Amino acid sequence: MKNLSCALPHKVNNWETILWRKVIQNVNRLQRRIAKAVKEGRLAKAKALMYLVTKSFYAKLLAVLRVSTNKGGSTPGVDNIVWTNGEEKLKAARKLKSRGYKSKPLRRIYIPKKNGKMRPLSIPVISDRAMQTLHKIALDPMAESLADKNSYGFRPRRSCNDAVAGCFQILCRKISPQWIFEADIKACFDNIRHDWILKNIPVNKTILNEWLNAGYIEKKRLFPTEKGTPQGGTISPMIMNMVLDGLETEINKKFPRWKNKKVNFIRYADDFVITAISKEVITNEIIPLVTEFLMERGLELSPEKSKITNISDGFNFLSQNVRKFRGKLIIRPSKEAVQSFKDKIRKIINENRGIPAHALIRILNPVIRGWSNYHKGICAKRIFNRLGAFIYWQLKRWAKYQHGNKNRWWIFHRYFHDNHFTDQRITKNGTENHRLYRIGYVPIRYHVKVKAEANPFLPEFDEYFLNRTKRRADLAKECKQITTFMTSKASKNSRVTLRRVSLKSA
């Protein structure tokens, strides 16, 4: 009966009994056909298939699922509506129709940036987010097939680590380019020209115009949006990528390989780096080309963040520092990223004084594990050890504050007796042992960059991505085994040391 309900979309009447594997398979089949049509140059066929996806009930179910289960699923728009149960989600999927569609204004909020300024964020209502996600599902295969090869931001199966690994491949050799242009676009999401988007983005023009001209509400006032795309919209990152796609092609046309000017291009979202053989090439040829390309789209380079540097001085890219020391390229976490991590750990510990140690461990572990997993693909072992010592002293102060009437030996045996910050919790099912994640024991495993031409929507790359996923799973398992071994070894050594100290004192 379940198979029948999923095979006939109009008979689906229960959100909990939907077979999501069947839904995803049907949507993926249409996406593959779109990617194949784009590869063969049949753009009219691809647009017809994209229209079919936007009318598919399977795609509508998947769009509602993604919107309601992501991190912003509980964040309402101006109507204060969120989908909390299956009946509301199923009803919303049936209401996703293009005919008579009207977009509602956006809710404007501000979030802090690293430099102390505030970044405007416009949040659509959840029904508009679902409609954007539906068209994003249809547009994704075409955008991926036409994207720049060395673009890594907001694309499936690509990450920041791939962009950093690309920098390593370009700059690691002795004959590599020595000059880098660090480019950043000023307010990229907020300044894109609407007429360029409507002319070049293959989405239903009526619906796209509704999103672009919806306006935003701030302090109970409605403001128009004459340019830009809402930064809180689900389809906005893809639109931004498609606006910037083509820059690498223009650079390759102007600087082909036979000219030997060592010009390379790597982009993540609106941040990109361009290498060259000399500073004059960047100043006289590259910057005018980039400026002209961006001006057509209503964008401009940020004079504050865009600069020219030599590889011996180093540059920061995606929270990592890339620099050559005596001819050897070393990539490490940037000083700003390390300081930000320290401030976050210090703030968590200071704000959670008075809670049990096992509760503090549950708060700290995801933060430490996430930061170390992001940076474990570069030369970060020494920094990991220093941060481990920093966390140890912060926790020691926390324990001293918790037990002001106890001496340091009591605190050591209570929390650090096996060379780890540990705690035990007695529950109905027995004793639970909680142990802090040791960042100093995380092994370094260098990241393998994804192939530039790899497309997850084409069947010829299925085996490549499958092997890549297996390799990453095996690597994660190996890192976990090494961390567990180092933890047990350190615990054993600490017990032996304690036993020797006790024998000497006796």
Q: Say if residue 383 is exposed, middle or buried (CB neighbours under 10 Å; 0-12, 13-18, 19+).
A: buried
Note the pLDDT tens digit of each residue in 187-227.
888 899 999 999 999 999 999 999 999 999 998 899 998 88
pLDDT at 488: 66
Alpha-carbon distance of 314 to 390, in angstroms, equals 26
pLDDT at 5: 38
Q: DSSP state, 26? A: H
User: Do residues 76 and 128 make contact, with C-beta atoms less than 8 angstroms apart?
Assistant: no
Number of other CB atoms surrounding residue 150 within 10 Å:
19
User: Do residues 186 and 302 make contact, with C-beta atoms less than 8 angstroms apart?
Assistant: yes
Number of other CB atoms surrounding residue 238 within 10 Å:
23
Strand 307-310 and strand 118-123: pairing? unpaired
In which residue are the tokens 């910057």 written? Answer: 287
In which residue are the tokens 């060259």 written? Answer: 276
Alpha-carbon distance of 363 to 375, in angstroms, equals 20
User: Do residues 153 and 251 make contact, with C-beta atoms less than 8 angstroms apart?
Assistant: no
pLDDT at 305: 87
In which residue are the tokens 């989600």 written? Answer: 89
Q: What is the pTM of this model?
A: 0.88
Please state the φ and ψ torsions of residue 10, each to the nearest 5 degrees: -70, -10
Note the pLDDT tens digit of each residue in 225-256.
888 888 888 999 999 999 999 999 999 999 98
Q: What does the block give as tokens for 103?
A: 């977009």
pLDDT along the chain (506 residues), means of 10: 45 86 95 96 95 95 94 88 91 91 91 80 92 96 95 93 95 93 90 93 93 90 89 91 94 83 91 94 94 94 91 94 94 96 96 91 94 94 95 94 90 84 77 88 91 94 93 82 71 46 34
Amino acid in position 40: E
Number of other CB atoms surrounding residue 303 within 10 Å:
9
In which residue are the tokens 């976050």 written? Answer: 344
Start-to-end CA distance of the chain, whole Å, equals 75
What DSSP letter does each residue of 48-113 carry, written as one string?
HHHHHHHH-HHHHHHHHHHHHHSGGGG---TT-----SHHHHHHHHHT--STT--PPPEEEEEEE-
What is the distance of C-alpha 152 from the center of its chain?
A: 10
Alpha-carbon distance of 266 to 163, in angstroms, equals 7
Amino acid in position 250: E
pLDDT at 1: 38
Alpha-carbon distance of 16 to 28, in angstroms, equals 21
What DSSP letter does each residue of 264-307 carry, written as one string?
EEEEETTEEEEEESSHHHIIIIIHHHHHHHHHHTT--B-TTT-E
3-state helix, strand, coil in the chain (%, to 5): 55, 15, 30
CA 223 → CA 215, 216, 427, distances in Å?
5, 5, 55
pLDDT at 480: 77
In which residue are the tokens 């509506």 written? Answer: 81
User: Do residues 333 and 339 make contact, with C-beta atoms less than 8 angstroms apart?
Assistant: no
Alpha-carbon distance of 193 to 240, in angstroms, equals 11
Element (H, E) at 369: helix 357-375
> 439 pairs with which residues across the strands?
none
Long-range CB pairs of 95-103 (<8 Å, 24+ gap) are 95/127, 96/60, 96/63, 96/64, 96/127, 96/130, 96/131, 96/134, 98/54, 98/204, 98/206, 98/207, 101/131, 101/206, 101/207, 101/210, 102/210, 103/128, 103/131, 103/207, 103/210, 103/211, 103/214
Q: What does the block give as tokens for 345?
A: 């750990």
